[in-house]
Amino acid sequence: MRNEENLSADAMPTVEVLQASVQDKTGFTELEHYRRLGVAFLTFLARANLTRIISPTPPHNYIFYQYGATQANKITRPLNSNLFIESPLAFAEAFDRFIAFLADLKKFQEKTAARRSAKAYLASNEINRVIYTAQQSIGSIGDSFRDSNQARKRIGQLFERLIKFIILEVGLECEPRTISVPVPNYLGYAMPYELDVVFSRNKAVIVSERKTIHPMEIVGSVKTTSKDRIDKIFLDKYLLAKMLGRDIPVVAVFLHDVQRAKKGNSIFGIASTFKTNHFLCYSLVLNKLDGVYYVDPRPEMVSTERLREQISDFQHFLTADLWALSAPAPTKLDSET
């Protein structure tokens, strides 16, 4: 990152340096860059004395930070204080533990979660907390721009890249891909698809089948929120299967589904952007997705059985479903034994 010399925890970075770091097209080429920016932003929060606002919406675990007059008193997105690590030192240490755990996942794969050394770590929910803090630090910096649309696309791109780097770190192949799928029975017609990530355990497959989707590959849609996007993900799975003539495994990874909303006389309430009825209807009428994962799941995703059957947190994806989805199909010899 060009601005890495300015992202030292020894000196408080300015808002301008943080903004430039988010916009830096040469940055974020490895997980360490997410750690570095997260530490820098949290250091800024700790020393800049921004106003910290607690949402009046029960259960009051969402907070906001308000920038100063130079940033036109802009307000950050809602931050889940149960997940957002506010101490730069605590975040740095948690990120280091996360990287060490990814090394264990690469070595032990689906057996990692059953290891005695991993059980306490997984019970702490630290995987979700690290990812949430890293990405929401980027998002909160984006909120400081006078024109919030100036950084919106970049924030989404960096979340896609973060998830890609994590999957690569545990030893799988993972890449964004653009494909063109021929429309059956209509010669010369094709549907273009930009896929956020395509992942697989088999490197040779990805190299040889780069223009399409191999049966051993899984398509992943990675978005910061499902708002205005959930419809397309279900439709994409349906159309891909229809046009390719076989089921295409599709999973969705979301950061959260929360936005700021006016509650009474306060503009600091929060509201869910998750469309429960749409989600359940598409699951019944079109097809179920092969997995839906949130870093910050909404309470109804845990309390509602029909949602709980289909939606898990990202930690579950990383430690269990990622390996189950990418496992090689059993051979005829395997089925006979």
255 lies in the same domain as 272:
yes
Q: Last residue of some domain: 166, 182, 211?
A: 166
Q: Are 167 and 322 in contact, with CB atoms under 8 Å apart?
A: yes
Residue 254 phi/psi, 5-degree rounding, is -120, 150
Q: Last residue of some domain: 141, 166, 191?
A: 166
Closest CA to 233 of 222, 242, 243: 222
For residue 10, pLDDT beyond 60: no
pLDDT, residue 12, reads 76
Q: pLDDT tens-digit profile of 38-88?
A: 999 999 999 998 999 999 988 889 999 999 999 999 999 999 999 999 999
Q: Which two tokens stand for residue 8?
A: 């030292």
Q: How confident is the model at residue 3 (pLDDT cuts 50, 70, 90)?
A: low
pLDDT, residue 1, reads 56
pTM: 0.93
Does the CA dihedral 67-72-78-83 come out positive or negative? negative
16 lies in the same domain as 90:
yes
Q: Last residue of some domain: 146, 166, 186?
A: 166
Q: pLDDT tens-digit profile of 220-246?
A: 999 999 998 999 999 999 999 999 999
Q: How confident is the model at residue 202 (pLDDT cuts 50, 70, 90)?
A: confident
Q: Which two tokens stand for residue 234?
A: 């279900």
155 lies in the same domain as 238:
no
209 lies in the same domain as 81:
no
185 lies in the same domain as 81:
no
For the chain, the domain total comes to 2
- Please give the average per-residue pLDDT across 83-111, as a whole number: 97
pLDDT, residue 183, reads 87
pLDDT, residue 186, reads 83
199 lies in the same domain as 224:
yes
Q: pLDDT tens-digit profile of 75-84?
A: 999 999 999 9
Closest CA to 82 of 14, 128, 44: 128
278 lies in the same domain as 240:
yes
pLDDT, residue 337, reads 45
Closest CA to 199 of 222, 241, 224, 167: 167
- Please give the average per-residue pLDDT across 256-273, as a whole number: 91
- Please give the average per-residue pLDDT across 126-147, as a whole number: 96
121 lies in the same domain as 219:
no
Range of the domain at 224: 172-336
CA distance 278 to 273: 12
211 lies in the same domain as 287:
yes
CA distance 297 to 168: 24
* Mean per-residue pLDDT of the chain: 91
CATH number where 247 lies: 3.40.1350
Report the percent of the chain where pLDDT is more than 90.
77
204 lies in the same domain as 109:
no
Q: pLDDT tens-digit profile of 277-317?
A: 999 999 999 999 999 999 999 999 999 999 999 999 999 99
131 lies in the same domain as 211:
no
70 lies in the same domain as 100:
yes
